Structure 1
Amino acid sequence: MSKQRRTSRRMSNKKILAIIGFTLVSAAIGYAVFNSMIPTNRSFPVLGVPENTYLVTKHDSQNGYVFASKGTTSGKKSMGSMHIMPEIHVTQDQLGSIHMINEDTDSKHNLNIDEFNVHTKDLNYFETQTVTFVADKEGSFRYYCTIHPEMNGRLIVQ
């Protein structure tokens, strides 16, 4: 009978460790999810679906270093025309997300919109970063790269 008690105690210790491990992993995931819902210009989470914009950085032979947006044709997944230094339109008091990818093989790039505290890290070739913010001010705002000041465009909040 003493063997059965030892075996059941060992199982219960394993179960307790498993529960503690599961709880710690769940708490870490919950913390990461909670923090991912906090826009750059807020200190608390905002629930909602953001208006998404996709920007690519490139070195264009005619225009030099540029931000570009890719459009789709006829709703298909094939890439359509490229727009150089695109205007980004966001509705006032809505969440906006800008997804940026550096497709320039020669240089790092970043994205900044000072009025909304939007600042990405310096991205190497094919690195990407997404920033989410609340468009709480109406107007036209400049976005730019600090490494290449000629790279800029306008964020329009209406």
Structure 2
Amino acid sequence: MLKKITVASVVIAVIIIISISLSLSSDDVLPESTVEETPSIEVQADVIMPTKVSRPGCEETDKCYIPSKITVEKDSSVTWINEDSAFHSVTSGVYDEPTGLFDSGYMDPYQTFSYVFDTSGTYDYYCTLHPWMEGKVIVE
């Protein structure tokens, strides 16, 4: 008799647990019509630092900055975006010889940096953390 009561108690407990879990899971599901997609944010940039350029090799295909050479008109702004998971910079000059004209500092992933070029000329730039990353802005 005691064995039948124990088995019956276990069966009732299992049924109660299943009922509770089913009622909780059905409350957590939203009707399809109320689910909203998160809109994506698109940042406009003239030059991209793509993924995996923090490792040497991108200079062999000239893809450390895309494009690596950009031509703009005088008084135009150029915007760079870091799409890599590593920190990068946009610093005027060449490695070990910065000109001091512009410097983004260390850029977090998806951070942008802009600079207005108000004088015609050719401006070299590089990444202070990754010396193989080089680019050029030509201002006409």
TM-score, normalising length from structure 2?
0.50
The structure 2 residue matched to 1:144, chosen from 122, 126, 129, is: 126
Q: Find out whether 1:98 has 2:89 as its counterpart.
A: no
Distance in 2, Cα, partners of 1:53 & 1:101: 6
Distance 1:124 1:53 in 2: 15
Q: Deviations over 1:30-71 (max 9, x none)?
A: xxxxxxxxxxxxxxxxxxxxxx961111225852671114xx
Deviation of the 1:111 alpha carbon: 0.6
Secondary structure, counterpart of 1:121 in structure 2: coil
Tell me, which stretches of 5 or more residues in structure 1 are unaligned? 1-51, 70-84
Identity of aligned residues (%): 23
- Find runs of 4+ consecutive structure 1 residues off by over 3 angstroms: none
More strand by share: 1
> What is the CA-CA distance between 1:90 and the residue it aligns to?
2.4
Residues 1:55 and 2:53 are matched in the alignment: no
Q: Which of structures 1 and 2 has the bigger CA Rg?
A: 2
Q: Encode CA deviations 1:89-120: one digit per residue, 9 max, x unaligned.
A: 123xx212121111111x10111224571211
Among candidates 42, 61, 66, match of residue 64 of structure 2: 66
Which secondary structure state, in structure 2, belongs to the residue aligned with residue 117 of structure 1?
Answer: strand
* Matched residue, 1:126: 110
- How far apart in 2 are the matches of 1:149 and 1:98? 21
Q: With structure 1 as the length reference, what TM-score do the two structures score?
A: 0.45
Cα separation, 1, equivalents of 2:134 and 2:49: 11
* CA gap 1:89/1:116 in 2 versus in 1, 3 angstroms: farther
Q: CA RMSD in A?
A: 2.8
How many residues align structurally? 86
